[in-house]
Structure 1
């Protein structure tokens, strides 16, 4: 499958022309505040990330870009089976777009992969992402301190899981 459609979004496979839009997201300190790395400082850094994220051929990955009105506003997917992640440009926040994208992606993921659950790892300070995931039915399964060293700051993790829906 190469495209998922919602009322306002298209989730599709990345193409090289998406690099600059992704760089606008990944270089944003606001967007990257609770990410596992520092904001990107160069397009070359984003190009390296982009290649690994979308074109590595790793079967444990299944990544999509999120498009609204023809513009890439983020990405969503499984970066390491069965762990899902997502990031949106700050201009797309607060409009329900992450929920819309995640709902479509989760339906696809459970239809495509024989997994018992989709999991997530969220910085506990990221209240918006925690609220979104819990609204989608994810439940907290644990928490660990000092899981990521981002620059000189230790970040923590809250782990969540969404079990496969029953028929």
Structure 2
């Protein structure tokens, strides 16, 4: 399964994506607002990627994002209706998250995979909040101390995007 946009290829994750995903998952900038600490070594990323591949094979809707022939991120829903994305920090500010997320949203709703998408974002992650709100997600709530990362508690803003009626 592939989704093509003007600049991107969204495709299912593969075992040979390990190095590219490790480059993303080990970067402290990119993992600042993620629900886990940066990956210390490839074994951590391998376990994460193996789980993602298994989940996708069992009906999950995860996609690797390729830009100019390079894997630069991930978008989708491992467990619908939960939705998310990550982009390597070297590619931030290029509209990749918006383009990939919009393509996934079209895919999920046109195939009637879910009647809504839900997102959980650290309130300090203003860029991701802007992307989601630009795509039509609305804030539905917030909570304190939802993730403990190392010795730091992080909060959550919850958002939802209803499908077309």
Question: Quick check: TM above 0.5?
Answer: yes
SS in 2 for 1:94: coil
Return the alpha-carbon distance in structure 1 between the equivalents of residues 113 and 47 of structure 2. Answer: 30
TM-score between both structures, scaled by the size of structure 2: 0.96
Return the alpha-carbon distance in structure 1 between the equivalents of residues 112 and 38 of structure 2. Answer: 31
SS in 1 for 2:22: helix
Return the alpha-carbon distance in structure 1 between the equivalents of residues 13 and 154 of structure 2. Answer: 29
Establish whether residue 156 from structure 1 lines up as the match of residue 118 from structure 2: no
Give the structure with the higher percent helix.
2
Return the alpha-carbon distance in structure 2 between the equivalents of residues 87 and 54 of structure 1. Answer: 16
Establish whether residue 104 from structure 1 lines up as the match of residue 88 from structure 2: no
Equivalent residue number for residue 74 of structure 1: 73
Change (3 A) 1:119 1:49: same
Number of aligned positions between the proteins? 164
Tell me by how many angstroms 1:15 deviates. Answer: 1.5
Return the alpha-carbon distance in structure 2 between the equivalents of residues 58 and 123 of structure 1. Answer: 28
Provide Cα deviations, 1:28-66, integer angstroms capped at 9, x if missing partner: 00000000000000001000000111223443x211100
- What pairs with 1:108-127 in structure 2 (closer than 5 Å)? 108-127=107-126
Tell me by how many angstroms 1:17 deviates. Answer: 1.2
Tell me by how many angstroms 1:101 deviates. Answer: 0.3
Equivalent residue number for residue 51 of structure 1: 50
Gaps of 5+ in 1: none
CA RMSD of aligned residues (A): 1.0
Equivalent residue number for residue 139 of structure 1: 138
SS in 1 for 2:6: coil
Gaps of 5+ in 2: none
